[in-house]
Amino acid sequence: MKIAVCVSHVPDTAAKINIASDGKSIDQNGVTYVVNPYDEIAIEEALKTKEAFEGETVAISVGPESNKDSIKKALAMGIDSGVLLKHEGFIDSLGVARALADEIKTLDAKLVFFGKQSVDYDNSIVGQLTSELIGYNCVSVVVDFKLDGEKIICEREIEGGREIVETTLPAVITAQKGLNEPRYASLKGIMAAKKKTIEEKDAAAGENVVEVIKMKKPPVKQPGRILGEDATVVPELVKLLKEEAKVI
Amino acid sequence: MAGKILVFLEQRNGEIKKASFEAVKAASAIADKLSIEAEAVTVGSEISNLENVGGYGIKKVTHFKNSELANYSNSAYSKLVADFAKEIGAGIILFSNTSLGKDLAPFTAVKTDAGIAMDITVIDYDGNDLILTRPIFAGKALLELKVNSPVKVITLRPNVFSSGEPSNDKAEIEVKDVSSPDLQTKVVELKKSKGKLDVAEADIIVSGGRGLKAPENFHLIKDLAEVLGAAQGASRAAVDAGWRPHSEQVGQTGKTVSPTLYVAVGISGAIQHLAGMRSSKYIVAINKDKDAPIFQVADYGIAGDAFEIVPALIEEIKRVKS
Ligand SMILES: Cc1cc2nc3c(=O)[nH]c(=O)nc-3n(C[C@H](O)[C@H](O)[C@H](O)COP(=O)(O)OP(=O)(O)OC[C@H]3O[C@@H](n4cnc5c(N)ncnc54)[C@H](O)[C@@H]3O)c2cc1C
Ligand SMILES: Nc1ncnc2c1ncn2[C@@H]1O[C@H](COP(=O)(O)O)[C@@H](O)[C@H]1O
């Protein structure tokens, strides 16, 4: 079975985000990019599934040339090959999903892992959109995944608990933290990755329907007051919570 | 004009959730502004409080009913909602950005050929166009956008749009029995974490971090949460140490929350933690290091030892409450 994993290439979560002069994108100065943290979990699950059932794994990313770094990371962790679907500039979630759907069909991958969310635009929908576009089943925000023949049993995280979900292949699974512990890329893995291929083609993304009007910084919160350094200020705090915040 | 606005009402255990009432209120405001009609749709089995939707400004509710639809099924729910949206000519389909809404909205969008905007915190207008704002980079920036497709799917961040005080109006409910739902993907069992309030839904959250030093000290967080009627949260350091479950993690790779009150105890305020909670209305920080970055976002801080402050705080709240 062919197993695909979709990876996005995002600013490090510790990056300071500033707005570029166009007012519509982020200032790239000093921003380092990494593979999306949830996608590492997706990569790990693809590898574990391959180890358990055999098959071939492929990592796909939509974006500029620099996204290759995240594909390389996937290859170093053990994914067999990569595909870069080239696209420059802003692309909405549906555009990403259309490009991925097109490639997944071409590859005929029956099981596709995504992260639950890209920590740049935080949409958490590309997996679902892609599965719907190709008519696959889908379970999102998965913290436990079991494959038994064609049957899939997952646990997904919801507010205040978990849902046990059943479905069948072909399917899209989006990975939540807790599903597994992603392995580190070993030196051997990094060396082996150099011999693996990354195919490049243009992304079949279509037109954006989401139009960015502007990007801005959130209003700065006025740093508040340090009321004091010991328990003597506790009554004052409780009074403020009661009278200003009105939560008591 | 844009056609109708349709709101999806989310039920769990046969009850419409609070976030859905917020969405109803927001939908009726949009409907007024654009002079369009608003109605609501829900999917489930028995639902107890459906009529109450009327009190938040929408009078017409369609309930797709089948005992097998009590639990969520993305295949069945999205088909019913999308077909219904097409039938009534919906131009805007509104969801709450809950775990169910985040899953259901994208399937519905593809089935209705809609563009999609998630996790909206502000709705503005430019003539008849909706100008939508959403936090990106976990709240480190805001994006203003417009969806240019004829049909638009929008999800609203819970706890941001106020549902206001309901009137006594009751909604008119039309029940449609569903004969053979598409249960290709379905929830077969619900595992609740033992009667606990989830951070994503709580109005008050008390979170603990590495400053608490050991898992057994989290009874302080639990006790404080209890007197405040709050949910319990944690920093990633506390989760990674195995002191608290991941479901409690607040932050960029945990949950994004915007409660009325967020209390951070023994949490330094790393950028990834702030990302998940900085939009809380009031923030209280208790940290023994007065230079900790958490104080930059806190409304009220106490730069002292949690082991001294928290017990005193619990006692004082009890005293004031009684
Ligand atoms: C990719 C990535 C994603 C991340 N995602 C998240 C996330 O979602 N959520 C998150 O929280 N973090 C996240 N982090 C981790 C984040 O960078 C911090 O490491 C983490 O938030 C620190 O947790 P902490 O504040 O509990 O611990 P520390 O930073 O160790 O802070 C402990 C604090 O306790 C105080 N303290 C010590 N003793 C006492 C006492 N007796 N009384 C009062 N105060 C005391 C100290 O002064 C200190 O400020 C992420 C990191 C990365 C790289
Ligand atoms: N440009 C991209 N290329 C490949 N996969 C992507 C891309 N953007 C998002 N994804 C995948 O979709 C998931 C959800 O992303 P999002 O809906 O943008 O939050 C991510 O975790 C990735 O697995």
Same domain, B25 and B153: yes
CATH number (domain holding residue B18): 3.40.50.620
The ipTM of this complex is 0.93
Same domain, B16 and B157: yes
A79-124 residue pLDDT tens: 999 999 999 999 999 999 999 999 999 999 999 999 999 999 999 9
Nearest to A223 among B198, B204, B295 (CB): B295
Which residues pair with residue A164 across a beta bridge? A155, B189
Which residue type, as a one-letter code, is found at position B298? A
Mean pLDDT calculated for residue range B124-139:
95
- Note down the domain range covering B125: 4-177
* CA atoms of A70 and A88, how far apart (whole Å): 16
Q: Which helix (H) or strand (E) holds A56?
A: strand A56-63
**Would an 8 Å CB–CB cutoff place A19 in contact with chain B?**
yes
Same domain, B150 and B225: no
Mean pLDDT calculated for residue range B274-279:
92
Same domain, B218 and B169: no
CB A153 within 8 A of CB A164: yes
Distance A69 CA to ligand 1 centre (A): 29
CB B60 within 8 A of CB B90: no
Domain boundary among B177, B193, B223: B177
CB contact under 8 A, B279 and A247: no
B29-75 residue pLDDT tens: 999 999 999 999 999 999 999 999 999 999 999 999 999 999 999 99
Same domain, B261 and B143: no
A126-179 residue pLDDT tens: 999 999 999 999 999 999 999 999 999 999 999 989 999 999 999 999 999 999
Same domain, B160 and B21: yes
Q: Two tokens at A141?
A: 């925000």
With cut-offs at 50, 70 and 90, classify the pLDDT of residue B192. Answer: confident
What's the alpha-carbon Rg for chain B, to the nearest Å?
21
CATH number (domain holding residue B293): 3.40.50.1220
CB contact under 8 A, A215 and B299: no
Within 8 A of B71 by CB-CB distance, chain A residues are 163
The reply to whether B272 falls in a domain is yes
Domain boundary among B158, B177, B196: B177
Same domain, B216 and B119: no
Same domain, B100 and B243: no
* CA atoms of B104 and B82, how far apart (whole Å): 10
Same domain, B8 and B134: yes
Q: Which residue has the tokens 């004091």?
A: A228
The reply to whether B185 falls in a domain is no
The residue of chain B with its CA nearest to that of A225 is B300
Q: How many domains does chain B have?
A: 2
With cut-offs at 50, 70 and 90, classify the pLDDT of residue B16. Answer: very high
A32-87 residue pLDDT tens: 999 999 999 999 999 999 999 999 999 999 999 999 999 999 999 999 999 999 99
In chain B, positions 68-97, which contact chain A (CB-CB < 8 Å)? Answer: 71-72, 74-75, 78
The reply to whether B192 falls in a domain is no
**Would an 8 Å CB–CB cutoff place B192 in contact with chain A?**
yes
CB contact under 8 A, A227 and B131: no
| CB distance A71 to ligand 2 below 6 Å | no
The reply to whether B190 falls in a domain is no
Same domain, B222 and B275: yes
pLDDT of residue B195: 63
In chain B, positions 220-279, which contact chain A (CB-CB < 8 Å)? Answer: 228, 246-247, 249, 252-254, 256, 260-261, 271-272, 275, 278-279
Determine the straight-line distance between the first and last CA of chain B, rounded to whole angstroms: 55
Same domain, B155 and B226: no
The reply to whether B275 falls in a domain is yes
Same domain, B267 and B218: yes
> Could you tell me the domains of chain A?
2-202 (3.40.50.620)
Least confident segment among B12-16, B150-154, B209-213: B12-16
